């Protein structure tokens, strides 16, 4: 079955670091880009960036450049989104998705809720 499975919910304090994961299965992981999307509480979708699993080339949204890092371990078909210093404003659900050959995002992971609170 084609799917992306994300790591579980996290509760962190401001200033802490965090890495969440997104594991693909049921398809050739290196053949499709992985994208990350943020959804803040009660808000819309925001594209954060994408990564090419073949060479780890990344493109970030200007809104997220410098604050998050996207990476890949293709040996285990897993993408990562990480923060070195979390802020309360990072509280959100984070989704990964596969960018398919038609340019659409399909499928999506189930989402990872990140809560940052002192």
Q: With CB under 8 A as the contact rule, which of the stretches 8-16, 20-28, 55-63, 80-88 interacts with another protein? A: 55-63
Report in angstroms how near the CB of residue 97 gets to another protein at its nearest: 8
- Residue 66 binds to another protein (criterion: CB under 8 A): no
Beta-strand (E) ranges in 7-111?
A: 10-12, 18-25, 33-39, 45-51, 58-60, 69-73, 78-83, 92-99, 105-108
The rounded distance, in Å, linking the Cα atoms of 77 and 68 is 20
Given the rule CB under 8 A, which residues bind another protein? 35, 37, 44-47, 49-50, 59-62, 95, 97, 100, 102-106, 108-111
């Amino acid at each position: 079955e084609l799917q992306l499975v994300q790591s579980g919910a996290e509760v962190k304090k401001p200033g802490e670091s965090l890495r969440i994961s997104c594991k693909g299965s049921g398809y050739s992981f290196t053949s499709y880009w992985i994208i990350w999307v943020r959804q803040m509480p009660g808000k819309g979708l925001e594209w954060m960036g994408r990564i090419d699993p073949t060479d780890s080339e990344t493109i970030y949204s200007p809104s997220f450049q410098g604050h998050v890092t996207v990476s890949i371990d293709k040996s285990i078909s897993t993408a990562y989104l990480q923060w070195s210093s979390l802020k309360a404003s990072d509280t959100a659900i984070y989704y990964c998705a596969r960018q398919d050959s038609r340019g659409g995002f399909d499928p999506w992971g189930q989402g990872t809720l990140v809560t940052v609170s002192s």
